[in-house]
């Protein structure tokens, strides 16, 4: 017997389906934004990145980046931990096999993309102490 579940979309409409179906929908929704895909690629490329670093690289407001991070965290794709002033983000260590394979494939397919390569170059050169000097990363 195939396990089924239901959940609600953002409009409150109930979606029913098998667990793999719902996991797939959740994954696709979480990654349905260019900036969230760039964040996932950054976190796959380097561990322990803070909001200030992501904000500096992606070029959006800190509140917007925080919203993207929260959505990715709620989808179970990333995790965070506090380290002094910084909240560091990583790809979740508890990814389900579908999400893990999808993120790996996404990373491999986009590693040579112009924007993604630029993001990788920026994260290599960035100094969090400099960019976060006057503010705490939240």
Segment 110-127, tens digit of pLDDT: 999 999 999 999 999 998
Across the range 82-101, mean pLDDT stands at: 92
| Alpha helices, DSSP H, located in 19-61 | 19-30, 34-45, 51-58
- Tell me the β-bridge partners of 87: 82
Q: How far is CA 55 from CA 15, 36, 62, in A?
A: 34, 12, 6
CB count within 10 Å of CB 122 equals 15
pLDDT at 64: 97
pLDDT at 26: 87
Residue 9: pLDDT over 80: no
The span from the CA of 112 to the CA of 107, in Å, is: 9
Tell me the domains of the chain and their CATH numbers: 1-30 (no CATH), 35-131 (1.10.10.10)
The span from the CA of 1 to the CA of 30, in Å, is: 28
- Tell me the β-bridge partners of 49: 89
Provide the percentage of residues in the chain whose pLDDT is more than 70.
Answer: 82
Token pair in block for residue 71 = 């959505």
Residue 20: pLDDT over 80: no
Question: Residue 71 — very low, low, confident or very high, per pLDDT cuts 50/70/90?
Answer: very high
């Amino acid at each position: 017997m195939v396990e089924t579940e239901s959940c609600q979309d953002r409009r409150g409409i109930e979606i029913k389906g098998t667990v793999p179906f719902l996991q797939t929908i959740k994954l696709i929704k979480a990654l349905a934004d260019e900036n969230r895909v760039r964040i996932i690629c950054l976190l796959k490329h380097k561990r322990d990145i803070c909001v200030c670093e992501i904000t500096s690289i992606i070029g959006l407001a800190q509140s917007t980046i925080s919203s993207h991070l929260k959505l990715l965290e709620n989808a179970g794709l990333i995790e965070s931990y506090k380290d002094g002033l910084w909240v560091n983000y990583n790809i979740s260590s508890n990814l389900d096999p579908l999400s893990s394979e999808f993120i790996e494939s996404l990373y491999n397919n986009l590693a040579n993309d112009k924007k993604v390569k630029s993001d990788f170059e920026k994260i290599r050169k960035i100094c969090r102490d400099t960019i976060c000097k006057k503010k705490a990363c939240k």
